Amino acid sequence: MRKGMLVGRDAQILALSALLDRAIAQAGGAVILRGEAGIGKTALLAHASTLATARGMRAVGVCGVQAEVHIPYAGLHRLFRSLRRDAPAPAVEIESPYRAAMVLLDQLGTRHQRVLVAVDDAQWLDRGSWEALTFAARRIGSDPVAMVLTIRDGEEVDRLLAQAGLPELRLEPLSPVDAGVLLASVAPDLSRPLRERVLEQSAGIPLGLVELGSVAATSGDARLLPSWLPLSTRVERTFAAIVAELPTATRALLLVAALDDGDDVDEILAASSRFEGCPVTVDDVGPAVATRLVQVDDWHRLRFRHPLLRSALYQSAGTAQRRRVHAALADVVVADSDRHVWHRAAAAAGPDEALARELTGLAARAGHRQASGAALAAFQRAVLLSGDAAERGRRLLAAAEVAAEQGDITTARQLLDDVVDEHLRPVDRAWLSYLREGLLITGWSGAARLPVYAGLIDALRRDGDGQRAMNALAAMSLRFYWSNPPPETIQAFLTVADNFDTLTDDPRMIATVGLIAPVERGAVTLEQMTRLLIRFDLTPTEQHVLGVSASGIGALDLSAQFLTAATAGVRAQGRVGALAQVLTSQAFAAAFLGNTRVAVPAAVEAAELAAETGQPAWALTARLIHGHARALTGDTAAARKAADHGESVLLPNARLPMLALVQVVRGVEALADGRPADAYRQLYRIFDADDVAYHPYLRFVAFGHLAEAAAWAGKENALRAIVPPLTRVAGECGSPALVTTLRYAGAVLAGRAEAFGTALAADLSSWPFERARLQQAYGAWLRRQRRAAESRPLLRSAAETFDALGAVPWADRARAELRASGESLRRPVDPADTLTLQEQQIARLAAQGLSNREIAERLFLSPRTITTHLYRIFPKLGIKSRGELSQALTGKFSDGR
């Protein structure tokens, strides 16, 4: 029958065979088998396993179970057991779905045998397992691994697949001819009228053809239901009729198994005995196995032949009966506190505030383990059990936040729609307003509602919920930075922050205050952050917020140090969603420091990870920063594309202050392209308080480019008008970026050797791009003064620095000035330019002495993939061993120009 169900699937079998062959050739990959219930996905997956075994591959698999969707990493734990032949082995400790993906890749990549990972009913995997498996699936390109996942059609599935980004192989209903062939193999002796009825009712769905054909063959048309019923309903009722003929004890254990979130036979029998009030033994499983309704493997795990059988059992049981089953399961799994709570919740007949509080705690624990799917399910069940209207509202808000973190904006909006505003406490009512705006329900309000949020945070603090208040203040600070709030709003938030007497030494508070008031509190924040730099007990989260705050004040050198540490820490934790944010921040600091060697790969990885983890706002920011970095390299086409895309998203959503990032990209692109007047026009919008792209704090880090554009375009008078107010701001906040670039502006406006000498005498060791920009300006001035010999060392140094940073147009201009002085300097060839971005990352980490496994952990790849990349890197660099990497990457070679 299994073979028969593959009628009409030649194209799909060919595609799966090709996937397996590529895996054998160490070019692994993954595919999604997609289609409606009963279309034959499971049969095709089983056939793929047979094909894999015939090729000498090992086939391991796992099946999603609807009852387990609330158990963090339940599916992945079962897959790990399948990978271990000596199961039951201890469960793998999972910190996050992405760390779990790395454990899976490591286990698959270090085996000598080629592997097929077969995942059935993936739509019913818990969210953590789904994210881990799809994350791993996108990273098995150099491993002898194939992954095939089956998934049932549905609206939720569309969203999941869009985020997964995996190729799909769709299964459609069989053609009339193929349907007839399949039916003939199942029920060859049907009368013509009965055959036509089965074909019509099955509509080309293989499961319908097999099950309804079998019923028709044994019972005629007596048990064929009306065709207006959905096929799934007809098949479910067919299964229910089969179950109804089984002994009472067997029916009981099947119902318990259908509602159980585990698959252990002993557990199912124990709960069945409680449910029935008499012993149910392993002998009672026999009739279900004999009728092929279930299978029991060598490790006493029970699996249903088809998911619709679970549905049939569920539908056939009444509400009271299902509650009794869950009560029995709760008694059996009492040692597992989380499962115990879940089954008690499912057994509850009405509101139970105490149980709702337990579920809320369970949701919080799941959230800490980055099991957002389990957290959302727990919050939603807690909402249904809530006896307190205000607590119900708060749980709805929490559930909406979790759904939004998953990237499921539709569910988040639905949950917020269920909130009854008048039932909320005043604090939660304000938080509802914040969530509605943040989820694009009411639109972006800019700074208008910020005072309301200040009151919300202060009310939380006064109510004794200091930690939640601190979290809210920290979350608000970045939003605050991009809102251009008026002075009175800034002061209101500072007053709220100052009321946190017990948290004044909290690194997050220091960073938050710096973002809220970069001018008013900038100097004191810089002093505090400089002291924190030598602390060894900072968490990656604290390092990240400190790095963001330092960038906001313009302490880019300080920011780079915090963010480098944060990146390493977050990678080690496997928090990929957070890593996307940290890398975006790191790319921001590096781009404004002119360091394209760090900015480009960080921005590319950040954009990819942000898209993978459902963070569109961070993905957009990373793309804009990538455009900025590409402009510095001279890739003006990529820069213009990034700017156009950013503007197309930001303008319609009224995210106007963030347009400053677009103007940076356009301004730097114009500078790189030799259009200084256009560069000045684009950049000046950031400095014009009447422009929608105005940003008072981005001026700190963009002023160097504006000053260069003004000097090059002959707009010295316009620059002179800008310098005094910025000098006053720099005096108040001490922004290092602004102080440094004001020295440059002062020197080019003065046009005297003494002014250039004074500017260069400052400590610019942390500002190589700005030092090179100043050297180039001074060298060009000296050449025009016919002091060519004095200009050459400055121009040579500037060109070499720009080359090292990857700022090609700036380096070319320095070389042009040098040629005009009578000396030529060829452009060096960077060996890394022959490598892809990922190869560059791998090569540089290998050159630092990291092992393949350590590199794999940092880049979320398998060790085998790292090995494969290194084999490709060596010939590109003209080397033969790992020991030559460092010299190859730092060596200077000429391209003859």
Cα–Cα dist 277/199, whole Å: 44
pLDDT at 284 (0 to 100):
95
State how beta strands 302-304 and 828-829 pair: unpaired
- Sorted by sequence, the CB contacts under 8 Å of residue 423 that are 6+ apart come out as 389, 390, 392, 393
Cα 480 to the center of its chain, rounded Å: 24
pLDDT at 716 (0 to 100):
95
Name the residue among 121, 138, 457 with its Cα closest to residue 309: 121
Name the residue among 182, 172, 154, 614 with its Cα closest to residue 373: 614
| Per-residue DSSP letter, 68 | G
pLDDT at 226 (0 to 100):
62
Cα 815 to the center of its chain, rounded Å: 42
Report the chain (897 residues): mean pLDDT per 10 consecutive residues.
Answer: 66 95 91 91 94 94 84 86 61 71 81 87 89 90 91 80 87 92 89 86 85 78 61 76 90 94 92 95 94 86 83 86 96 92 92 94 79 84 93 92 74 88 82 71 60 81 79 82 90 89 77 93 94 90 95 97 94 82 97 96 93 85 97 97 94 82 98 97 96 95 97 95 96 96 96 95 96 97 93 95 95 94 79 80 86 84 85 86 79 35
- CATH architecture of the region 831-894: Orthogonal Bundle (1.10)
Phi-psi region at 539: left, alpha or beta (left = phi > 0; alpha = psi -120 to 50): beta
Rounded (10°) CA dihedral 736, 739, 744, 749: 170
Yes or no: say if 584 and 622 are a contact pair by the CB < 8 Å rule: yes
C-alpha to C-alpha distances, 387 to 158, 350, 356, 384, nearest whole angstrom: 35, 9, 8, 9
Which helix or strand (DSSP H or E) is residue 115 part of? strand 115-120
Cα–Cα dist 788/807, whole Å: 24
| Per-residue DSSP letter, 264 | B
C-alpha to C-alpha distances, 647 to 27, 129, 460, 621, 683, nearest whole angstrom: 39, 36, 37, 11, 15
pLDDT at 632 (0 to 100):
98
CATH code of domain 4-170: 3.40.50.300
pLDDT at 504 (0 to 100):
61
Strand partners, 168: 32
Burial status of residue 54 (CB atoms within 10 A of its CB: 0-12, 13-18, 19 or more): exposed
| Per-residue DSSP letter, 423 | G
| 275-282: long-range contacts, CB 8 A cutoff, minimum separation 24 | 275/324, 275/325, 275/328, 276/248, 276/249, 276/252, 280/249, 280/252, 280/253, 281/249
Domain ranges of the chain: 4-170, 249-425, 636-742, 751-825, 831-894
Residue 32, phi then psi, degrees to nearest 5:
-100, 125
Which helix or strand (DSSP H or E) is residue 152 part of? strand 145-152
Looking only at Cα atoms, what is the longest distance across the chain? Answer: 106
Cα 890 to the center of its chain, rounded Å: 33
